[in-house]
Structure 1
Amino acid sequence: MSEIKETCLHPFHTELHARMEEFAGYDMPIVYTTIQAEHLAVRNDVGMFDVSHMGEIEVRGKDALKFVDYIFTNEILSKPFGKVVYGFMLYENGTIVDDLLVYLVNQENVFLVVNASNIAKDYAWIVEQTEGFDVTIVNLSEEYSEVAVQGPNAETKIKEVFGLDLSELSFFTFGRFLINGDEYLISRTGYTGEDGFEIYGSNLDIPFIWEKLHLAGVTPCGLGSRDTLRFEAALPLYGHEISDQISPISAGLKIFVRVEEKSDFIGKGSLLKEIELGSDKKVVGIELNEKAIPRQGYPVFMGDEQVGVITTGYLSISLDKPIAMALIDKKASKKDTQIFVGIRKKMVPGFVRDKKFLKKNYKTN
Structure 2
Amino acid sequence: MSDPRYTPLRERHEALGASFTDFGGWQMPVRYTSDLAEHHAVRQAAGIFDISHMAEFLVTGESAGEFLDYALAGRLSAMPVGKAKYSLMLSDAGGIVDDVIVYRLADDRYLVIANAGNRGFVDAAFAKRIRSFPSLIERQSPARAEGEERSFAGFLGDRGVDVEDVSESFALIAVQGPAAEAIVAATAGITDVSTPWEAQKYYAWADARFEGESLLLARTGYTGEDGFELLVRAADAPVLWDALMTAGEPHGLVPAGLAARDTLRLEAGMPLYGHELTTETKPAQAGLGRVVVSEKESFVGKDAVAAASGAPVLVGLVAEGKRAGRAGYAVEDADGAMIGEITSGALSPTLGHPIAMAYVTPSSAEEGTAVFLDVRGTKIPATVTALPFYRRMK
- TM-score norm. by structure 2 comes to 0.88
Distance 2:309 2:39 in 1: 37
Corresponding letter in the other structure for 2:294:
V
Partner letter of residue 367 of structure 2?
K
1:154-303 pair list within 5 angstroms: 154-162=180-188, 166-216=197-247, 217=249, 218-260=253-295, 262-271=296-305, 273-274=306-307, 278=309, 280-302=311-333, 303=335
Q: Deviations over 1:11-49 (max 9, x none)?
A: 010001111111111111000111111111111111110
- What is the distance in 1 between the residues matched to 2:28 and 2:341? 28
Counterpart code for 1:331: S
Match 2:165 to one of 135, 139, 142? 139
- The whole-number CA distance in structure 2 between the counterparts of 1:263 and 1:128 is 19
**8 Å contact from structure 1 (residues 176, 183) kept in 2:** yes
* Bigger fraction of residues in helix: 2
Distance, in Å, in 2 between the alignment partners of 1:32 and 1:185 is: 27
Deviation at 1:290, TM superposition (A): 3.0
- In structure 1, the partner of 2:16 is 16
Q: Distance in 2 between matches of 1:329 and 1:212?
A: 49
Match of 2:340 among 308, 312, 325: 308
* Aligned-residue offset at 1:82: 1.4
Cα separation, 2, equivalents of 1:144 and 1:209:
12
Look up the SS of the partner of 1:215 in the other structure.
helix
- 1:329 deviates by 1.0
SS in 1 for 2:286: coil
Instruction: Tell me the residue number matched to 1:150.
Output: 176
CA distance in structure 1 between the partners assigned to 2:304 and 2:236 by the alignment: 44
Q: Percent identity?
A: 36
Q: Based on CA coordinates, which of the two structures has the bigger radius of gyration? A: 2
| Equivalent AA in structure 1 for residue 276 of structure 2 | E
Aligned position for 1:322: 354
Write out per-residue CA displacement over residues 278-327 of structure 1, whole angstroms, 9 at most, x where no aligned residue.
Answer: 45211001112332111111111112211111010000000000010001
Q: Do residues 45 (structure 1) and 45 (structure 2) align?
A: yes
Gaps of 5+ in 2: 137-159
Cα RMSD (Å): 1.5
How many residues are aligned here? Answer: 358
Deviation at 1:352, TM superposition (A): 1.1
> 2:147 aligns to what?
none
Structure 2 equivalent of residue 120 of structure 1:
120
Quote how far apart the aligned CAs of 1:189 are: 0.4
Q: Is the 8 A contact 1:290 1:349 kept in 2?
A: no
**Matched residue of 1:129: which SS?**
helix
In the superposition, the TM-score normalised over structure 1's length comes to: 0.94
